[in-house]
Chain A
């Protein structure tokens, strides 16, 4: 599960303690794609998640201006967004605290019948 997903999910909390297996793969860099994704993300949340997983590295904590032309910056975003994956861990609902496991790279967001 790549970090991108966090912004799409209603759950937004994941931390290093909850991610027991994180993997970094090589993914083809597409600058256009990355720069178009950025406006759809909540920057501070991305930073927080990356940090929580121990993969913040040199990602700026504030979104820089004119990032579209800044290849160096885009590559940093690309790495965090698409190359860092959580293979085993869990996502936590910030309200209920309910944890959803991530197993073999796939988050299981199915609710039990009692919770429905």
Chain B
């Protein structure tokens, strides 16, 4: 495994797989409704078709269309178990290594899955794997988070999103799960969904930029802190030697032996692991005191701040100039000592961890930072739910046309049938075609 592959695997394990494992018990089925286009895609399949839902989660699409055979799979054990208890046929497996034979599925779903893969190469591999198991003429539907949201746009494409538990509802915990019923008929869950249609419609309108399971009732109740990062692709771009100036110093310091050998070999095995552990420790150490203040709003300031290597322009009314200097110094020192993605985030006025005179914490925040101090909100503490700060999910949000371009340029066995923007996602439907090698 190359260093990059190892780093990617570790990143995804820390900020996708283990997060889903922790938050799985808190997914409440009644919040979920199948998106119309996905439902339509499933209903259009011929009776007797075999369909794979790769990255099925807790199986929210597996109950649709009783006349086709659906097989769900996911890496997350608790979610897969939840899907099984609903009567669905599911497996635990890796989307990059599907345990299925070639060309045996009539259709494949990939709904909000591949945006969790941290490199372009892995995203392509996932699509190719799904194309492999599709029979010629079969279709795949892919949904990924869009960079361009309805009212705003993500500043960058590689982000870490904290998980916000839904404010507790009176019905939570009082519903007994229906007994497991296997079979091709629609399950009991469908009834639950239709009963909540009204509620979902209302909530949806205020949360166009949120993923379904993060619907919240009002902005005041949210704690949201979006962290932007550079993609692993850009950090590890040794091949074309276009390492950006802002990280070249650090990279050369830690990876210099690599620069002298061909390719990125496992010879420096430990590096990728340390690298990712540093990244992870940053996110797990974050405070939950964050405001709803949207980082999107301050895009121009952030962009400017980003280009100043190691120098943070701290917009802070409270701290003295000494404090400011010491914080800056610490940041610069950290910058120089380790290669890490640049981080841009917004902070609370009351974040004592950052403003302490002693400087930043050990697992502190190198890279370019611009601190903005806002009034704080008390974090909502729901019993038993994991801290939002410790559940940061990695996403690579897609630019318009990016998903289509990936398929067109790298997956010749798939031909795009249509693409569209739906519910803050880019959607592509493609058909498997016979490729003739001359």
Residues in B neighbouring A32, C-beta threshold 8 A: 47-48, 67
Q: Are A28 and B185 in contact (CB under 8 A)?
A: yes
Residue tally, chain B, CB below 8 Å to A: 34
Indicate whether B203 reaches chain A with its CB closer than 8 angstroms. Answer: no
Q: Are A108 and B92 in contact (CB under 8 A)?
A: yes
Q: A54 CA to B75 CA in the complex, in Å?
A: 31
Q: A105 CA to B77 CA in the complex, in Å?
A: 12
Residues in A neighbouring B91, C-beta threshold 8 A: 1, 5, 106-109
- B277: shortest Cβ distance to chain A, in Å? 16
Q: What total count of A-B pairs have CB within 8 Å?
A: 92
Contact flags (1/0) for A6-33 with B, using CB distance below 8 Å?
0111110000000000000101101011
Residues in B neighbouring A28, C-beta threshold 8 A: 183-185
Q: A28 CA to B186 CA in the complex, in Å?
A: 10
Indicate whether A2 reaches chain B with its CB closer than 8 angstroms. Answer: yes
Residues in B neighbouring A109, C-beta threshold 8 A: 73, 91-94, 99
Q: A12 CA to B47 CA in the complex, in Å?
A: 25
Residues in A neighbouring B104, C-beta threshold 8 A: 7-8, 40
Of the four ranges (under 10, 10 to 19, 20 to 34, 35 or more), the interface on chain A belongs to 20 to 34
**B183 interface neighbour in A10, A11, A82, A108, Cβ under 8 Å:** A82
Contact flags (1/0) for B300-337 with A, using CB distance below 8 Å?
00000000000000000000000000000000000000
Residues in B neighbouring A27, C-beta threshold 8 A: 182-184
Residues in B neighbouring A100, C-beta threshold 8 A: 99
Residues of A within 8 A of B (CB): 1-2, 4-5, 7-11, 25, 27-28, 30, 32-33, 35-37, 40, 82-83, 85, 100, 104-111, 113, 116
Residues of B within 8 A of A (CB): 1, 9, 46-50, 66-69, 71, 73, 75, 77, 80-81, 84, 89-94, 97, 99-101, 104-105, 182-185
